[in-house]
Structure 1
Amino acid sequence: MTPDPKLVAAARAFALPFYAEPGRAYHNAAHVEDMLAALHSRRVLTPELALACWGHDLVYDARATDNEERSAVIFDDWLAAQGVRPEVRTRIRAMILATRHTAAPADREQALLVDADLAILGADAATFDAYDAAIRQEYAHVPGLIYRLGRRKVLRGFLARERLYATPEFAGLEAQARDNLRRKLRS
């Protein structure tokens, strides 16, 4: 049984203050709405995926390396307080942790969430450039050269993947994403 759609609305209300925190130029509610729209337009959005979207970046600290883990704990605690069954919470937690982008998604739900999270890489050039500028804002505390070296490593890591998108629904973004990543690395 999937969660009641009313729970998704409650999750949105719970999550919005997190996404409105200062310093979020990209990892904000607009990013979540974009993910939801990407999943909806591909006719794969489920209440569980919607919940995972709202929970995946509750914590975003550009200085930390455990944002997804902390987000998963906070959101799981909230879901538990809402009476969501443990097996549903486990799936949602796994989806959130998959957005660390450190391993291949373990199942289709995780793959869809990860692909939606990375859909921005396959956006048109102007939208990708705005995303890239917003990421730089979130890392404003990092000196220029150090940021460029770190960003280059991240972008090269994405390019080194055999495929950026694991699901057929998002596979059409692959070529544009690779073009955007190569173009950014050249600049």
Structure 2
Amino acid sequence: MEWPTAITRLGGDHQIAAVAWDDLQTRYAEPHRRYHDLRHVTAVAHDSGDLAVAFGLGSRERALVAVAAWTHDVVYDARPGEDERASAAWTRDELTNAGVPEADVQRAEELVLSTIHHSAPDDDLLATALLDADLAILGATPERYEEYASGVREEYSIYSDEDWRAGRVAVLENLLARPRLYRSDIARARWESKARANLAHELTRWRDADPHHR
């Protein structure tokens, strides 16, 4: 679902939503972004929309998922936690400005904040649609996964190769140790096996590049 459509479904003003959309696109085109760009959130909006439909969510619920998908990385400076909170604040400001009811503003804000730790109650289907879609890239083709991994490395170029390798290995090991990467059965059927193969391949590559690893 496109951003202006989602805002109007929530009772917001279409013209104000269009102005916010222009700002959103400008932000996602910032030169320091290599993965967390408009391509990424477009994919998240598409995949979360598919999951929301599969979950049987209503029109208003699907609009909330769409809003959060489009805005969850609208502020991005490679500062985990701070970025998501700033993105949630942007979401609140723009939805309020467009005249979206406070209850929906709060719900959209909560969804964006759920991406900080990728956690939410098990029965929260809106968050499940968003969070599973946000990790869909892990189950992409090996070529697209490599683009993602390289892009994230460029976004964190402030770190040395050695520090990045150590941190990335820890992230990959943590992900692979999870009993499941995705919250829903639908997402697991679609992406889980490919995601684990991609993660394992990257982990092997980093370990092979570590002169201290045996």
Please give the TM-score of this superposition, normalised by the length of structure 2. 0.79
The 3-state SS of whatever aligns with 1:4 is helix
Contact kept? 2:34, 2:151, Cα under 8 Å: yes
How many residues are treated as equivalent by the alignment? Answer: 185
Code of the residue aligned with 1:51 in structure 2: it is: V
Q: C-alpha distance in 2, partners of 1:8/1:94?
A: 22
Partner of residue 4, structure 1: 8
Question: 1:1-187 residue pairs with structure 2 within 5 A?
Answer: 3-5=7-9, 6=14, 10=18, 11-42=20-51, 44=53, 46-63=62-79, 65-100=81-116, 102=117, 104-106=119-121, 107-172=124-189, 173-187=191-205
1:12/1:54 contact within 8 Å kept: no
38 and 177 in structure 1: CA distance in 2 versus 1, 3 angstrom threshold? same
1:143-171 deviation digits (Å, cap 9, x = unpaired): 00001111111222222222111123311
Q: Kindly provide the amino acid, as one letter, of the partner of residue 104 in structure 2.
A: V
Q: Which moved more, 1:19-28 or 1:159-168?
A: 159-168
Q: Tell me the secondary structure at the aligned position of residue 169 of structure 1.
A: helix
TM-score with structure 1 setting the length: 0.90
Bigger CA radius of gyration: 2
Deviations 1:87-122 (A, max 9, x none): 10111111101111x253221101110111100001
- Aligned Cα RMSD in Å? 2.1
Query: Does structure 2 conserve the Cα–Cα contact (< 8 Å) formed by 1:8 and 1:47?
Result: no
Classify 1:7/1:152 alpha carbon distance in 2 versus 1 (closer, same or farther; 3 Å). Answer: farther
Deviations 1:49-106 (A, max 9, x none): 1111111001111145411011101111111111111110111111101111x25322
Q: Say which is worse superposed, 137-146 or 34-43, in terms of deviation.
A: 34-43
Gaps of 5+ in 2: 1-5, 206-214
Task: Confirm or deny: 8 A CA contact 1:95 1:110 kept in the other structure.
Answer: yes
For residue 40 of structure 1, report the CA deviation from its aligned partner. 3.8
* 1:26 aligned counterpart, secondary structure: coil
Q: Is the 8 A contact 2:28 2:37 kept in 1?
A: yes
Aligned partners of 2:139 and 2:192 also within 8 Å: yes
AA matched with 2:170: K
Identity %: 36
1:43 deviation in Å? 5.9
Shift of 1:7: 7.9
Contact 2:96 2:105 in 1 (8 A): yes
